[in-house]
Chains A and B, each alone.
Chain A
Amino acid sequence: GQSLEQPSEVTAVEGAIVQINCTYQTSGFYGLSWYQQHDGGAPTFLSYNALDGLEETGRFSSFLSRSDSYGYLLLQELQMKDSASYFCAVYNQGGKLIFGQGTELSVKP
């Protein structure tokens, strides 16, 4: 079967750092992706990791360990506008994107 586990919700304050973890179990694995979705909006692509290690894009970084079937999204210098749902998603065999349940991040002043 296929499953992705991530926390359902996380709360942090402005300016802080937050890490959202994701563990996965899938049939075939090509890479791990992260998407952000604001209320009522389209999910938007944040990052993609095909190889082990850390990928940095501005305030956001994403990490992958294929041997541990684990990854995380790191958000630094949190801003109020970062309040949203964050989904990890696995590209499985055939290159299809399978999503986790999403983590609702609330950033407080």
Chain B
Amino acid sequence: ETGVTQTPRHLVMGMTNKKSLKCEQHLGHNAMYWYKQSAKKPLELMFVYSLEERVENNSVPSRFSPECPNSSHLFLHLHTLQPEDSALYLCASSQSRPSNNYGYTFGSGTRLTVV
């Protein structure tokens, strides 16, 4: 357990479904992130929330919709996804500035399969 909890661990959804991924941290961090990890590709930064305000949206399609109701919780709402959206979705949290002692803390991810 890393301190960042993601649910569900696995999700299979049809292209017409609507689902949500949940991320929770109680590390006292004030920034949270969504990353997408596809096979043989770098982790791709999707969204950044700092102090509950979205500060970055890396040209992510509108079928992905993030929500950060408070500094401990982050959601990723999914609707009308495509098969190429199948990937591991990782949530991370951090203090706003990096340091020598710690970086981002990642959750174990949600393995999403779109059928």
Q: Which residues of A contact B (CB under 8 A)?
A: 4, 30-31, 33, 35, 40-45, 47-50, 55, 87, 89, 91, 94-102
B98 A42 Cβ-Cβ under 8 A: no
Q: Which residues of B contact A (CB under 8 A)?
A: 2, 4, 33, 35, 40-43, 45, 48, 55-56, 90, 92, 96-109
A95 B56 Cβ-Cβ under 8 A: no
Closest to B109 in A: A42
For the complex, would chain B's binding face be called helix, strand, loop or mixed by DSSP majority?
A: loop
What would 29 A/B residue contacts be, using CB atoms closer than 8 Å?
Answer: A33-B98, A33-B103, A35-B104, A35-B106, A42-B90, A42-B108, A42-B109, A45-B103, A45-B104, A45-B105, A47-B100, A48-B100, A48-B101, A48-B102, A49-B100, A50-B98, A87-B42, A87-B43, A89-B43, A91-B98, A95-B96, A95-B98, A96-B45, A97-B33, A97-B45, A97-B98, A97-B104, A98-B45, A101-B41
Most buried by A among B40, B43, B90: B43
A42 B42 Cβ-Cβ under 8 A: no
A100 B42 Cβ-Cβ under 8 A: yes
B106 A42 Cβ-Cβ under 8 A: yes
| Min C-beta distance of A41 to chain B, whole Å | 6
B4 A101 Cβ-Cβ under 8 A: no
What are the residues of chain A within 8 A of B107 when measuring CB–CB? Answer: 42
| Min C-beta distance of A96 to chain B, whole Å | 6
A55 B98 Cβ-Cβ under 8 A: no
What are the residues of chain A within 8 A of B33 when measuring CB–CB? Answer: 97
* CB < 8 Å neighbour of A43 from B48, B90, B98: B90
Contact A44:B96 (CB < 8 A) given known A33-B103, A96-B56, A100-B42: no
